[in-house]
Amino acid sequence: MEGLLYKIVDQLVALHVFSFTHDKWMDLGIDMKENTPAYEEYLAFLDSLRKQLMRDYPELKPGLQALHDNFMKERTWNVAHLRHYKSADVLRTFVHGDLWAANIIWRADDIAAIVDWTLCHPGSLTEDLLRVLVTCCSAERRRRLTHPLMKYYFNQVKAKMEERLLPIPFTFEELKVHMCS
């Protein structure tokens, strides 16, 4: 399993190096707008899901209610997050947006394809990797491998950029900040 995570990082490195060396990708991806019927349906779906979970699992009610209250304070938090990474002065890369096991097709121990790019967008350097770690790994494995995978990612991006005679556009410290934002 751990070797497969490094192969996922290799794919992210290739995608991110492309992002750092080309500009055309910045116009790709989802462009959410607040107060659209689709966004309102999304919010209604989340609310109905919360209510159903509270009925089915009463012990989760305090946490689900707190999550709902915080989420509904700023109904367009997701839109604001996406707009943040559209800004030219923000360090960003091209993000898959829904990277997890079901969207990675393997051939033996190699990645054959990454599918379902519906949610791709400009975003954080660490968004896709952290999503994989959270959705596909145990808490123990995630805690143990996050730092080594980030270090590997940084060293690989640096090496690939140096091959192109270009500087890496971020420091390891900046990468750690992206991991927490």
Tell me which of 32 and 85 has the higher pLDDT.
85
For residues 77 and 32, the model is more confident at 77
Pairs from 137-142 (Cβ < 8 Å, separation ≥ 24):
137/1, 137/5, 141/1, 141/2
Distance between CA atoms of residues 16 and 34, nearest Å:
28
pLDDT at site 114: 96
Whether the CA torsion 39, 45, 48, 49 is positive or negative: it is negative
**Nearest alpha carbon to residue 124 among 96, 160, 146, 149:** 96
pLDDT exceeds cutoff 90 at 111: yes
Q: Give the predicted TM-score (pTM) of the model.
A: 0.81
DSSP code at position 12: H
Structure confidence at residue 128 as a pLDDT band (50, 70, 90): very high
Please compute, for residue 108, the number of CA atoms within 13 A of its CA located in the half-sphere on the CB side. 1
The residue extents of the domains of the chain are 2-30+90-180
- The whole-number pLDDT of residue 87 equals 76
Question: Which pLDDT band, with edges at 50, 70 and 90, does 125 fall under?
Answer: very high
The arithmetic mean of pLDDT across residues 5-20, rounded, is: 97
Check residue 95 and give its pLDDT. Answer: 93
Measured in residues, the chain has a length of 181
The closest alpha carbon to 161, from 169, 173, 150, 149, belongs to 169
Which one-letter DSSP state was computed for residue 116?
Answer: -
CA 179 to chain centre: 10
Name the CATH code of domain 2-30+90-180 (choices 2.170.270.10, 1.10.510.10, 3.40.50.300, 3.40.50.280): 1.10.510.10
pLDDT at 168 over 70: yes
pLDDT classification of 11: cutoffs 50, 70, 90: very high
Q: Which residues contact 26 (CB under 8 A, 6 or more apart)?
A: 86, 122
Could you tell me how far CA 176 lies from the centroid of its own chain? Answer: 14
DSSP state of 99: -
Q: Is the pLDDT confidence value at 161 over 70?
A: yes
| Residues 175 and 126: beta-carbon distance below 8 Å | yes
Q: What is the mean pLDDT of residues 159-177?
A: 96
- Amino acid 32: pLDDT: 58
- DSSP percent split of the chain into helix, strand, coil, nearest 5: 65, 10, 30
As a whole number, the mean pLDDT across the chain is 89
